[in-house]
Amino acid sequence: MGKLTEAERRERLEPLLRSGWAPVDGRDAIRKTFVFRDFVEAFGWMTRAAILAEKANHHPEWSNTYKTVVVTLTTHDAGGLSIKDTDLARRMDALA
């Protein structure tokens, strides 16, 4: 799996940027902060997202503090953003 081409970046990243994902300074990665009603809702979402990530064999960098989950996506093997990242980001948005 290679990095996104310029055409793929325009096509696949634009909708994600409009939905709250943002480029990460100094990295070829995207990040989004998800805020839930409480810890249980945040942890439940993380559990469902973890199952999707495991099935896709693509795991996020993330952290959780109470009701907030910060997710960073990049494909280490590709050296930056790949289709795996945009697909997982879309699925995470749909879960939220």
Domain layout of the chain by residue ranges: 6-95
Distances (CA, A) of 25 to 81, 94, 95: 13, 25, 26
Q: Which residue, among 88, 86, 75, 79, has the nearest Cα to 7 in the 3D structure?
A: 86
Strand-pairing partners, residue 34, are 69
The tens digit of pLDDT for each residue in 4-49 reads 999 999 999 999 999 999 999 999 999 999 999 999 999 999 999 9
Give pLDDT, residue 55: 96
The tens digit of pLDDT for each residue in 61-81 reads 999 999 999 999 999 999 999
Measured CA to CA, the distance from residue 4 to residue 94 in angstroms comes to 22
The pTM of this model reads 0.94
Rounded (10°) CA dihedral 61, 96, 34, 48: -40
Q: Which fold has domain 6-95?
A: Gyrase A; domain 2 (3.30.1360)
